[in-house]
Structure 1
């Protein structure tokens, strides 16, 4: 059953953070439903063919010559890399959101002139963006850098 935008927001807005790995794939799949977009595909054993998947494996060569495996939270070839982070920081009483976040129906925002997010939230999201940008260089040579890199 497809959720309305309002039902999707209501379902996700008041949940505690801290379960990023357990929740991000479900959240993004439901977001695809709301936006009427295709879901990610099941990942296959042959990494090179995983063009729209959660947990896309990329290899990073270490200084010792050994490769370490990294995982892109959501990857769509020629489209985007998305790095997911929890939206509520431990100990916070409300959702961490940037002061200039777009308003959505039914969601109250901080009064103008007030900063709505903590420095810790900024650091979390900047680090997530940097992590996603680093994945671009780890993609196979046959994959073009995607036009969008996102932290959510």
Structure 2
């Protein structure tokens, strides 16, 4: 019982990610984590970040996308592309849930607005996604692009 009480005292981390997909050119906006990033240094990733207390997940997605890339999207234009449920993660010893949205409408051009966290932010062809990619978001992106399963489990025992 002690383990279950301890686990219940720390909430599951809620995270939002955004796939900005230009369907006309079949490219997506990606960022490369800098050598100063908290995790996955040098790896590619989607714009992604933690939800603030009391913040709706769509607002988290809008805020994080703008903070990291300068791209603006309307919360109502976001569509759920994928859900990741991780058993544990960086800053998430009791697990995380990442809701990955897709945006087909945005304003602005991708910029690296957080150069201490990211080495670069840019458009990448959907058929040329870098191999050095954070596993969970790489899976979500691949599954979105191939119309694969909409939910992934990471770090859970296989049954």
Q: TM-score range by the shorter chain?
A: under 0.3
Length-normalised TM-score, structure 2: 0.26
Query: Looking at both structures, which has the greater relative contact order when contacts are Cα pairs under 8 Å and sequence separation is at least 6?
Result: 2
Q: Which has the higher strand share?
A: 2
Larger helix percent: 1
Larger Rg: 1
